């Protein structure tokens, strides 16, 4: 049993078969716009036209034997390509992150609001192909329509230029637009993550306590313990209290995520009860 092919090797138009480079379906201004965006010739122009076609256009041609195709199928494909390439980038950027945090960071980049913002920045709305019955101006600025078109465009670039072409586009028009420094800061802000964890599990807020100060005054090291409802969860030591708190929170997060600590113990009155810290 042979599997269906995904790119130009497939036999059915417009997603495969012979080149449609001479198709008149893209106007010259939009073609020039797309080639500036992608940095390459658009060899399969009909696919790009479909990527820009809002669902209102085929709606206007319902009942006709041949009617234009909307960008919804390409949106599906582009969504998968975006997920793959953004996932790969974050996988390399955060080598110590687990699946949950990688997924969380990906969601900050690949979401409807963010995709619409990328499309706004590229002025993609100006090139949407919209049905006559629709409110064209409203659709050209609609976050939903722009996010759909952005994903569809990624799908079209993948079909025309392959994964390398899609990656070039995403690196230039997505990754460079994202504040990766903020993402990195959030990824390693263990205090914030610990607060989010306690809030999401209806636990008391973590409390940080200086349990020791070591060394001479000019080179002092602070040892800080973080606890939840009086139960110690982690310790950290550093020359700055802020850094020691982050280290304590990191140890606490590792324990909470990996050691199966019964959370009910953190909700109950912890009198006479403690969880021994690992050395």
Q: Could you confirm whether 151 is annotated as catalytic?
A: yes
Residues annotated as binding site for Mg(2+)? Answer: 75, 148, 151
112-122 and 143-173 are packed helices; what angle lies between their axes, rounded to 10 degrees?
70
Cα distance between residue 78 and residue 124, in whole Å: 15
* Residues counted in the chain: 279
Q: Could you confirm whether 79 is annotated as catalytic?
A: yes
Cα distance between residue 102 and residue 90, in whole Å: 7
> Does residue 234 sit in helix, strand or coil?
strand
Taking every pair of Cα atoms in the chain, the longest distance, rounded to a whole number of angstroms, is: 86
Peptide bond into 191 cis (omega under 30): no
Say which of 27, 35, 60, 79 is annotated catalytic: 79
**Strands (E) located in the chain:** 207-214, 221-228, 231-238
Query: Do residues 170 and 83 touch, judged by C-beta distance below 8 A?
Result: no
Beta bridge partners of residue 234, listed in sequence order: 226
Say which of 151, 187, 225, 251 is annotated catalytic: 151
Residues annotated as binding site? Answer: 75, 148, 151
Residues designated catalytic? 79, 151
């Amino acid at each position: 049993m042979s599997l269906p092919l995904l790119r130009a090797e497939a036999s059915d138009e417009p997603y495969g078969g012979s080149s449609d480079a001479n198709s008149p379906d893209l106007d010259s201004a939009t073609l020039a716009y797309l080639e500036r965006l992608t940095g390459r010739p658009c060899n399969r122009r009909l696919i790009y036209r479909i990527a820009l076609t809002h669902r209102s256009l085929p709606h206007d041609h319902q009942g006709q034997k041949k009617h234009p195709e909307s960008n919804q199928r390409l949106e599906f494909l582009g969504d998968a390509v975006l997920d793959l390439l953004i996932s790969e980038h974050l996988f390399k950027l955060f080598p110590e992150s687990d699946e949950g945090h990688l997924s969380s960071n990906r969601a900050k980049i690949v979401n409807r609001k963010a995709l619409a913002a990328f499309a706004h920045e590229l002025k993609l709305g100006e090139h949407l192909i919209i049905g006559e019955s629709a409110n064209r101006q409203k659709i050209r600025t609609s976050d939903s329509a722009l996010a759909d078109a952005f994903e569809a465009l990624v799908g079209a670039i993948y079909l025309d230029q392959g994964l390398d072409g899609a990656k070039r586009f995403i690196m230039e028009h997505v990754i460079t637009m994202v504040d990766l420094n903020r993402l990195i800061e959030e990824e390693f802000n263990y205090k914030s993550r610990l607060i989010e964890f306690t809030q999401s599990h209806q636990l008391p807020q973590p409390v940080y306590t200086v349990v020791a100060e070591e060394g001479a005054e000019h080179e002092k090291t602070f040892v800080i313990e973080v606890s939840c409802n009086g139960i110690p969860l982690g310790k950290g030591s550093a020359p700055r209290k802020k850094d020691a708190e982050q280290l304590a929170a990191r140890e606490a997060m590792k324990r909470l995520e990996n050691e199966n600590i019964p959370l009910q113990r953190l909700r109950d009155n912890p009198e006479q009860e403690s969880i021994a810290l690992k050395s």
